[in-house]
Every structure is written in C-alpha cells, then in structure tokens.
Amino acid sequence: MESATEPSPTRTLSEHESKARVRAAGVVTAPETLVPDGEGAVQAAHEIGFPVVLKLCGDAIAHKTERGLVRLGLTDDAAVRAAAAELLAAARPEDGVVNLLVARMVRGNRELIAGCLEDPTFGRCVMLGIGGIFAEALADVAFRLVPLSERDAYELIDDLSTQKLLGAFRGEPAIDRAAVAATLLALSRLFETSSEIVSIDLNPLLIADGKPIAVDALIEVREP
Amino acid sequence: MSNLALLERFAALFEPRGVVVAGASSHPGKFGFVAAHNLLAAGYAGQVFLTNREGGEILGHKTLRSIDEVPDGAADLVFICTPPATVHDLLRACAAKGIRAAFMATAGYGELGEEGKRAEQELAALCAELGILLAGPNGQGVVSMPVDLCAQIVAPIPPRGHIAIASQSGGFVQAFLNYARKTGVGVSRAVSAGNCAATSVEDYLEYFAEDTETRVSLIYVEGLSDGRAFFEKTRQATAKKPLVVFKGGTTSGGQRAAASHTGALASDDRVFDGMCRQAGLTRAHSIEEAFELAASFATHPLPRGPNVFVLTTAGGWGVVTADRISASRELRLMPIPDDLRAAFDERLPPRWSRSNPADLAGSETRDTVVECLELAAQHPEVDAVVFLGLGIQSNLGDLERHGPFYPGHGLERVVEFHARQDSRYAELALELEKRHAKPILVATELVDCQPENPGPATLRAAGSLAYPSSHRAVGALEHLLRHARRSGVAQR
C-alpha cells in the first residue's frame, strides 16, 4: 500500500458564495441578497418580498443553526431591524468579515439533504438523504459515484427507504422526481468539473410545493 | 487487451496443457501433499508433474527433483507450495520451461505487514517480467471443471456447471463449492485470489465474462485497493453476464478483521451499495444468499416482466408467498387472467381459490397439477411461475413405505404412484421452463428436510435450483427481474 499523503488544508465558502456556485450549476435556490447592516436588510426584504429569513454570513461561519445565527419568518421592517441587530452583535472576532443574508422564506413540510463527498475507496460521490429533525435517526441516505447518468439520478431517489415521504403528503403534492434528479445531476456536474471542491452540502434541500429548493449550502474547497 | 489475448492469458491458469506441483510432499499433513492428492483425485485430464528435492514417489507418481526435468512446453501452470525464499528462482525456471501461469498457495507476504508487502510487489514485478500470470499468493487453489482441474489445498470437488467464482477468501471458495455439491448446481471455474498481488478479483471477471463455460460470476471481496477500477471492471462484466457480489468488512469490526485478513481499508457500506446499483451488480448479504443468487442465474431464465403467478397445493404457502410478492417493489402478484381462470374451472372442482395464488385445495386428480402448471406457464401475461407443494405426496409415501403396515393394504401401489407423480411434476417444471423460456421456480421445505424426496431430487439431479422456502424463491426472482430490466430482457 502507498503511504498516505498529508491532506492539504481546506476552507469553507460562505453560504452566499456556496449558493452562488451551486445556483450557477443549476441547483434552485431561494432569491437572496447580501447586505452589510440592518437598513440594507430592510431594503432587501422589500425587494425580495416578506416574509424573509435573516442569517449571519461569513467565510468562517459553518454552523449557523447551532450558534443561533438564523432568524426565520420575519414579516415586517421592525422584525428585520431587530433581528439584524441581534445577529451582528452575536458575531465573534474569529468569524472575520460578516454580512447579513436576506432570503425569501420558503415553506415546506419535507426536507431532503443532498451533497457531494470524496469516499476513501470510490472517490467522488453524490449523496441524497431524508433531512429534517429525524434525519440522524432515520439515517436514510444513498450514494452514487460521479458522474451520474440520468438513470443513476432517478434510481438514487428510488433507493431511499422512506418512499412514502416522497409521495403526496399533508396536502402537498408528490415530490417532483425530475426536479430532484436535475438537482443531483447539477451537483454531479459541478463536482466532476471542480477539482478544488472537497465537499458540497445542501442541507436542507427543502421541498416546497413538490419542488426542491436549496435554502442552505456549504462548499468546502482545498486551499491552492 | 484483446479478447483473444485475454482468453489465452487466462487459459494457462484455467485450461492448462499440464500442471506442475512445485514442492509436492509425501507427508499427508503438508500442503504439498494435499495439493498433489486433490489434483490427482479430481481426475485432471492433462499431464501432472510433481517436484520434490528428495525425489521418490508420491501417491504412486514418480517425482522430479526440479523444474528443470519437466519437458519443455509440457506444462502451462505451476502450483507453488514452497517457501518464499525459493520462489524467485523457481519462477525463472518455470518461465524457461514455457510455464505461463502460477498459482501461489505460499503464504508469508502482504498479510504480514510492510515487509511482506514489499516482497509481494517484487513477486508481482518478477511475474510481469517473465510473462507469468500470477494468482495469489496466500491462496487456496484454482478449480476448472471443464478439464476436471482441482489444484487446491481444500475440499471438495464440485459438480460441473456454469458458476464462475473468484474470492479474496479461500474459505469462501470452499464454502461455495460445498453449496454446489449440496444443491447440484455446478461450477465452471473457481479461484482463491489470495492477496491479489498481481491479479485482482475483478481481473478474473474479465475472463469469466468472455468464458463460454460461464453463465454467471460470483465474487467475494473484502478490501478494495482501487474502488474506481472495481466499479469500471464489474460494470463492464455485468453488462455481459450477471455478477453476484458478496462483501465482507461492512462494519468497523469487520473492517478491522478484513484489514488483517487480506489488505486495504473499506469505506461507508452505503457507498458500496450505491456503487453496486450503479454498476448493475447483484449484491448478496450473506454467503448462502450469494450462492443461491448465483445458482438462480445459472439455472433459470430471466423473466420478461414483473407478473408472477403462484400455483400451490398447500394453502398456507400460497398465502405467505402472496404476502411476499405484494411487499416487493419490483414484482407484481398479477390478477388471474379471465381465460386462465376459465381453463382452471374446467379442470377443478369449485372449491379451488379461483384467484392468484391458485390454490388447488386438495382437489387435484392424476393430471390436474400437470395441466394447470402447463396452462399457467404458457399464458402470455405470466412472466414467472412459483410452484409450491412439490413432494408432499412422496413425503406421505415415505411415511407409508416405512410404517408398520407396509407392504399390504394396497400401500405398494399408492407409494409408487406418489413417487412417480412428484418426479413427473419436477420434470414438467424443468421442461416448461425450457419451452417457454420463463422462470418456473419450485419452493418446498423438502429441499432441506427430505432431500431424497423424488420431487426435489429430480430437480437437483437435473442441476436446477429449487428453493427451501417461497421467500427465497421470490427474493431470487426479484434479482432476476432487476438484471433482466438492466440488460433489456424485461421491457415491462
């Protein structure tokens, strides 16, 4: 066996930059704007349309939910201003340059997770799983090796055990399999053509009206 | 490599003109004795040469003192049992005699650690330089039934058949050969790949895919040194023939055991699972299932669609088989076609189930089962038949034959009738499967519980796999259909 080479250091792109990369590849994301302060956030919220979500955004911030750096369902100027002040105050010196991300609030009862990773044996893979609060307990995830064919993408969806969750559910239509497959193929193309990317995380890939929308994204890249 | 070159390269291993056992021994406790014994006992058709430094006779065969005494070009394969220190000189001498394949049972290489791995790389490099196909080291043997070759240090001699086996564990080659003996579903080739110094499990697949004696490949793997190469090679192989894979080391405990067993570290099992689906491999989750699926591919045609019809003479088996098929994401418990129901109505009293499963409800006379099985098998909407209840009559006949009232009371005649009927049903199932080119799967607990019963015994003697339960028959059918869809045989 060859001796393991020292892995080169990696860093994460900000949520805004990560989303821009996956959006360019063909993944659907909610409309969003990056602003420096509360007033900017109010103006952006008007352009995007209420209700909105506000998040603290920076290159070094990877675990926003755990740190309470997300404010959901903001319906007016006052709520946006208050949330902006709280989030900016919560920034730590090690976060570096921070901004506020204002995004359209997307509603849906179902969450998937999708992503890309390097497997030690098989190399670059695309992953799809059931997301949400029971994701860890269900551990319902499946993989395919990059590059995915269209058939691979559809079969990857079929591989999930919790198929009932993908049908018509609580007044929402069945999941649009073609749209989920398109998301998986977009991830596969992006991962195949970007050697600097180490991993991609779309978590959650929210299902709104049956369509998948990436409301958070995180890309990890290898330092040159 | 062209197909012709590939076939020729592996022919030295699987269809050699002659075989040398290097390091043959007269001591029954040594591998060098066992290898010679097994090779001779299996009746290998080509010439056998045994070398031993001391000379003398082993098992009535005069030995040669060294490879140099083997006539030029008389052997293609050398089976090596001698210690690592002797192997380089031995291989050079073999190459000089025109030997083109070496099976190395000798251990003491990569499985021992870094130093062993270096020695293994040198060994592989030497074989590449000499143009010798190297199998092993640290393997248990190679089997090739078309030429009755069993050069191995384990039992048994399997029946001839169409399953080709390559395994990172020699013990599992032995297990598969034992299952072949038990079921009657035979083997074409088998190789214990050992440490895979120069030839990996997936390399053998390239040969199996081209081999006309092989209908299905069966592999056991633990660590994979190059996952992408495995993916590409297995994908190509399974595009030509079904490939059943069983993998060990899927848990962290198993991975530690595997790392010390034959090499490399394993990744997340779910990635392997996805890779199998992507490549079109048939993944088994136990050693018994692995053999059973391979035996299913080897002996049954592929279904052209998902419609399963169940014919039973035992009601409960019919019910649970219906449950199992209904729970399947692939198969369909088809509604009974009107014309089929009408045809059954003509032949059966009204108490039969009149639906699928067709439960004949003990209403059968001499020819009813035969007629109903024929009707079901020939119906164009039926893609596969599961036939339950074979052997019930003979099972009773066996009790009557060995009970206190035999002979007399008319028992001789009925016992004989029962046995004849079950053989007849089994022969019919075989004949219909061939005539209509659709799977007719027989499931009965008697396969395990009374293997000598004329029903299952007839199928076994014909080399066809019968199942000890309907769950296993339906599970196999799911895999047959998956492969049929992948390969375009099934459109529905």
Buried b (16+ CB within 10 A) or exposed e, A14-46: bbbbbbbbbeebebbbbebbbbeebebbbebbe
User: Looking at chain A, which residue has its C-alpha nearest residue B116?
Assistant: A1
Contact yes or no for A217/A28 (Cβ under 8 A)? no
How far apart (Å, rounded) are the C-alpha atoms in residues B328 and B342?
28
Closest CA to B476 of B302, B239, B240, B272: B302
- Distance, in Å, from the CA atom of A23 to the CA atom of A27, rounded to the nearest integer, reads 5
Instruction: Output the pLDDT for position B492.
Output: 67
Nearest 5°: the CA angle A78, A79, A84 is 100
Measured in residues, chain B has a length of 492
Q: What's the CA gap between B206 and B13, in Å, rounded?
A: 14
Question: How much is the pLDDT for B6?
Answer: 87
Which of A119, A141, A145 lies closest to B278 in CB terms?
A145
Cβ atoms B389, B314 nearer than 8 A: yes
Using the predicted structure, report yes or no on whether residue A68 has a pLDDT greater than 90. no
* Residue in A116, A122, A157 to test binding to B, most B beta-carbons within 10 Å: A122
**Residues above pLDDT 70, as percent of chain B:** 96
Angle at CA A66, nearest 5°, toward A62 and A68?
100
Sorted by sequence, the CB contacts under 8 Å of residue B270 that are 6+ apart come out as: A141, A142, A143
Tokens at residue B8, please?
A: 């020729």
- The domain limits of chain A are 10-28+108-222, 32-104
The overall longest dimension of chain B from CA atoms, in Å, is 81
pLDDT of residue A6: 59
Residues 6+ apart with CB under 8 A from B436: B377, B378
Cα distances from B485 to residues A121, B25, B302, in angstroms, run: 28, 52, 9
Rounded Cα–Cα distance for residues B84 and B414 (Å): 66
pLDDT at residue number B264? 40
Instruction: Give the span between the Cα atoms of B199 and A106, in whole angstroms.
Output: 54
Q: What percent of chain B shows pLDDT beyond 90?
A: 89
Cβ within 8 Å, pair A125-B278:
no
Residue A43 backbone phi and psi in degrees, to 5: -65, -45
> pLDDT at position B262, please?
37
Q: Which of A217, A204, A181 is nearest to A134 (CA)?
A: A204
Q: What is the pLDDT of residues B346-359, one digit of tens each?
A: 999 889 999 999 99
Q: Please, are residues B251 and B279 in contact by the beta-carbon 8 Å criterion?
A: no
Determine which of A4-8, B294-298, B311-315 has the lowest per-residue pLDDT on average. A4-8
Nearest to A62 by CA among A34, A95, A97: A95
Count the neighbouring beta carbons within 10 Å of the beta carbon of residue A147. 14
Residue A156 confidence (pLDDT): 97
* CATH 2.30.40.10 correct for A10-28+108-222: no
Nearest to B425 by CA among B445, B440, B405, B406: B440
pLDDT over threshold 70, residue A5? no
Q: What percent of chain A has pLDDT over 70?
A: 97
Q: Which SS3 state, helix, strand or coil, does residue B71 take? A: coil
Q: Which domains are assigned to chain B?
A: 1-138 (3.40.50.720), 154-299 (3.40.50.261), 302-486 (3.40.50.261)
Confidence of residue A3 (pLDDT cuts 50, 70, 90): very low
User: For an interface test with A, which of B268, B329, B478, B485 has the most A Cβ atoms less than 10 Å from its Cβ?
Assistant: B268
Spacing of C-alpha B236 from chain mean position: 20
**CA gap B140, B145 in Å, rounded:** 16
C-alpha distances out from residue A146 to A141, A143, A184, Å: 16, 10, 10
Would the pLDDT of A112 be above 80?
A: yes
Q: In chain B, which among 115-154 make CB contacts under 8 A with chain A? A: 117
Mapped onto helix, strand or coil, the DSSP state of residue B51 is strand
Per-residue pLDDT tens for B203-235? Answer: 999 999 999 999 999 999 988 888 999 999 999
Task: Enter the ipTM.
Answer: 0.91
Calculate Rg over the CA atoms of chain B.
26
Contact residues, chain B, for A121 at CB < 8 Å: 224, 227, 264-267, 271-272
User: Using an 8 Å Cβ cutoff, are A45 and A102 in contact?
Assistant: yes
- What's residue A134's pLDDT? 82
User: How many whole angstroms separate alpha carbon B443 and alpha carbon B448?
Assistant: 10
Mutate to test the interface with A, among B267, B281, B478 (most CBs of A within 10 A): B267
Give dist(CA B3, CA A189) in Å, integer. Answer: 34
**In the predicted model, what is the mean pLDDT of residues A75-80?**
95
Contact A159 B277 (CB under 8 A): yes
Give residue A58's pLDDT.
86
Cβ–Cβ below 8 Å for A143 and B117: no
pLDDT band at B20 (very low <50, low <70, confident <90, very high): very high
Residue in A120, A121, A159 closest to B274 by CB = A159
| Contact: B224, A155; criterion CB under 8 Å | no
Q: Which residues contact A110 (CB under 8 A, 6 or more apart)?
A: A132, A165, A169, A172, A175, A206, A207
CB contact under 8 A, A122 and B264: no
Q: Does B277 touch chain A (CB under 8 A)?
A: yes
Give kind and range of the element (H or E) at residue A152: helix A150-159
Where is A52: in which H helix or E strand?
A: strand A52-57
Q: Any CB–CB contact under 8 A between B13 and chain A?
A: no
Half-sphere exposure of B234 (CA within 13 A, CB side): 30
- pLDDT for residue B265: 39
SS3 B331: coil
Q: Nearest CA to B141 among B113, B105, B115?
A: B105
Q: In this structure, what DSSP letter does residue A104 have?
A: E
Q: How far apart are CA B372 and CA B356, in angstroms?
A: 13
Q: State the Cα–Cα distance between residues A76 and B117, nearest whole angstrom.
A: 68
Measure the CA–CA gap between B331 and B482, rounded to whole angstroms: 10
Residue B190 has pLDDT above 90, yes or no: yes
pLDDT at B267: 56
What residues have CB less than 8 Å from B445, skipping those under 6 apart?
B468, B469
Query: What's the rounded Cα separation, in Å, for the pair B415 and B220?
Result: 45
**Higher local confidence (pLDDT), B402 or B252:** B402
CA distance A174 to B374: 43
Please judge whether A142 and B265 are an interchain contact, meaning their C-beta atoms are less than 8 angstroms apart: no
Residue B96: pLDDT above 70? yes
Smallest CA-to-CA distance from A222 within A191, A199, A203, A201 is with A199
Answer whether residue A218 shows pLDDT above 60.
yes
Largest CA distance in chain A: 62
pLDDT at A2: 40
Average pLDDT for chain B: 94
For residue A122, the chain B residue with the least C-alpha distance is B227
* Selected residue of A127, A145, A150 to mutate for chain B interface (largest B Cβ count, 10 A): A145
Contacts with A125 from chain B: Cβ below 8 Å: 271, 274
Q: Is A159 on the interface with B (CB under 8 A)?
A: yes
Report which residue type is found at B475.
G
- What pLDDT, on a 0 to 100 scale, did the predictor assign at position B252? 60
Of B225, B264, B274, the CB nearest to A143: B274
CA nearest neighbour of A200 among A192, A209, A191, A208: A191
- Using the Cβ of B252 and the Cβ atoms of chain A, whether some distance falls under 8 Å is answered with no
What number is the average pLDDT over the span B444-472?
97
Range B37-65 average pLDDT: 95
Helix, strand, or coil (residue B167)? strand
Residue A5 CB-density burial (10 A; 0-12 exposed, 13-18 middle, 19+ buried): exposed
Per the CB < 8 A criterion, the answer to whether A173 and A166 are in contact is no
Domain A32-104 has CATH 3.30.70.100: no
pLDDT exceeds 50 at position B168: yes
- Of the listed ranges A128-137, B225-234, B281-290, B321-330, the one predicted with least confidence: A128-137
- What's the pLDDT at B251? 65
